[in-house]
Amino acid sequence: MEAIKMINLGVRFLLEILALVIFGYWGFRISQGTMMKIGLGIGTPLLAAVVWGMFGSPKAPYLLSGIPFLLLEIIIFGLPAIALYFTGKHGLAFIYGLITIINLVLLKVWKQ
């Protein structure tokens, strides 16, 4: 069982990285003009990384807990599914969303 829990934590890390990649992809695909593409394509993942690093990561200096932490998780890990959907990647949005929900539920059940 411990091996499965470790795999779940690994999946969580991969979801964090994938969220940043998706935010960047969304920023470059959704915007018009070179400056907007660069701004959103780089700025969105950078903003998400800073917010997660400050308030959500295990070693965050201002770690949230309870409902605020759950809301932050939903925003950081839920928005990439919405971003994929709006870029026309409906199947990938569903798969990412499903994996994220399963991972989040297992994290809560196993108190990870």
> Residue 97's closest CA among 76, 72, 75, 80?
80
The span from the CA of 111 to the CA of 39, in Å, is 37
User: Over the chain, what is the mean pLDDT?
Assistant: 96
- Kindly state the average pLDDT of the residues 108-112: 94
Q: What is the spatial distance between Cα 37 and Cα 71, in angstroms, rounded to a whole number?
A: 28
Tens-digit pLDDT profile for residues 12-44 = 999 999 999 999 999 999 988 999 999 999 999
What confidence tier does 68 reach under pLDDT thresholds 50, 70, 90? very high
Q: Residue 74: is its pLDDT beyond 90? A: yes
**Do 16 and 107 touch, CB atoms closer than 8 A?**
no
How many Cα atoms within 13 Å fall on the side-chain side of residue 47?
12
The pLDDT value recorded for residue 31 is 83
Residue 5 in this model has a pLDDT that exceeds 90? yes
